[in-house]
Structure 1
Amino acid sequence: MRCKILSDSFPTNCIAVLTIGGCLIWLCISGYLGMQKLEAAGIISVSMLVMYYVLTYLERTARLRQIKRNWELAGEKVHLIESVAKLEESYFSTIQSMAAAIDTNSTYSNGHSARVAGFAVKIGRAMGLCQDELDTLERAALLHDIGSIYIPDHVWRKEGPLTVEEQSLVRQHPVLGAEILDSVTSLKQESQAILHHHERYDGTGYPYGLKGLAIPLESRILAVADAFDAMTSERPYRSVLNMRDALEELYSNAGNQFDPRVVEGFLTVLDDITRETEIMPFPDKRFGARVYSMVGNC
């Protein structure tokens, strides 16, 4: 014989069935056997009533235990969230320290990675990236030159033109950086962004000559942020460019070296960038308006 449970509230169903059943049995017995058997019917009814209270107690106890367990789980969840937050904070601090160490490779690159990260996040936010994507972009920006640790110091500090061999070495740093991060499971996306941050929008970049939208968006954003900081910072092979010249360079290369939409995103946050850095803003508003207009038509 099979019994079918009609709902998940098994104790409650049992209580209802037993209570109704007890009343029916009491009526049947008292009606069939007469008053002389009323005592037996009463005993059965009382037994049913006792069982009702027992089941009620068990159900209430089970509910209280579940509530207690839920509170315990909630406390454990809060503790876990706090632990993860501390771990993420420590993790990000480690990445920042690595970026600072990378930048000490040359006196000309001091603070470069942090600035690129700041520019990149602002551009990404202007382009509508979600917070997870912005976090990935920031980590990639902080570590975008990690492969440079394999390049001899004299190459980075060289004031004259690089030889063919030296150029070949420099062009390996995105691949070397990606290989370093590939060993860290949690940095796979950052690895891809770093691998392609020297690709050009027209397909003439390195290391693989990717073109247009085949280049990851994070890499296209890094390309603009990296180039802008390089142009507005002192370098051994040239002096710092002023804002006008740097923006002219970005504009003239929008569509070939840079994604025009990324350049446009950069321009929308340019005021924020100039406020937070020592870079001089537009020499006049007419020039700024012209650059906005030109990039918008790319």
Structure 2
Amino acid sequence: MNVQFVGPEFFSFLGVEMIAGREILDQVADLGEFSQMRDQFPQIDGLSAVVNESALKVMNKSKEEALGAAVRVFTEENGQLFSNYKGNIVGVVNDYHTKDLRYPIVPTVFIPINDFKPEYLLVRSKQMDSSDLINQLADTWKSVEPIRPFEFSVLNDRILMQYEEQEKASFLIGLFSLISIVISGLGIYGLALFVADSKRKEVGIRKILGAGILSVQKMLLGEFLRPVLLGAIISLPLGYYLMNYWLKQFPEKLEPGIGIFLLTILISSLLMALTVSWRPFQASTVNPVETLERD
């Protein structure tokens, strides 16, 4: 299992839900007794540990059965122990991601830092842009770790950095989609001009026979609706395949429902109608006598 060293009240600080038991507290009964094996390798006895839901599956226990169960975390090589931590489970925490969403949640046991020097300190503040706060944090860090230089980052910014590639890809896809829509719109508008001009006699005859403006527009728009639907039939299966292929990199993903594809067809049809509706409207309002006399 994955092992993570945490400070007291780590989960309440992050707002992670405990689904059974409690979290590690700042008391001797939870931190355990620290000692060294062979004068250099760490050992803790009597510590309190917390496991996540995924760890329960490995342990083959329910969350109630896990509470109080003995736990031992150690590293061993050639029969020699290089770390040895023993204690009991006092709580079960809800599964949550510690890496970006491309990585699955792994079974994890959380044990107290005890006598170790932390590599990171988490600080919650509403004024991360305050120079006074940064100076105060730097002074505090030097008192804890005088050798290692002070560096800081905002957790939300680090989380967003994990998805920079996806954001860039999303921007490029959106940009090229916009360009393709504009080019397609210009092509459809040009085609609308051609169709309306080539059917002016037919429109004139229909109007003489009593056809209304709405009927004529419906006839002309139908010329463009069919290729839009044909394009949707060809492109949507490909889009579904590419979307599922992209989602494979995430262990937890949403299944693309049919609604998004129906919405795509609806938006494409509306864009087509808005692009070409003006020219058919003009053709349907022309006096049919003038249309038939033109040639």
Q: What is the TM-score with the length of structure 1 in the denominator?
A: 0.30
| Higher helix content, 1 or 2 | 1
Q: Which has the higher contact order (CA 8 A, sep 6+)?
A: 2
| Higher strand content, 1 or 2 | 2
Q: What is the TM-score with the length of structure 2 in the denominator?
A: 0.30
- Quick check: which has more Rg, 1 or 2? 1
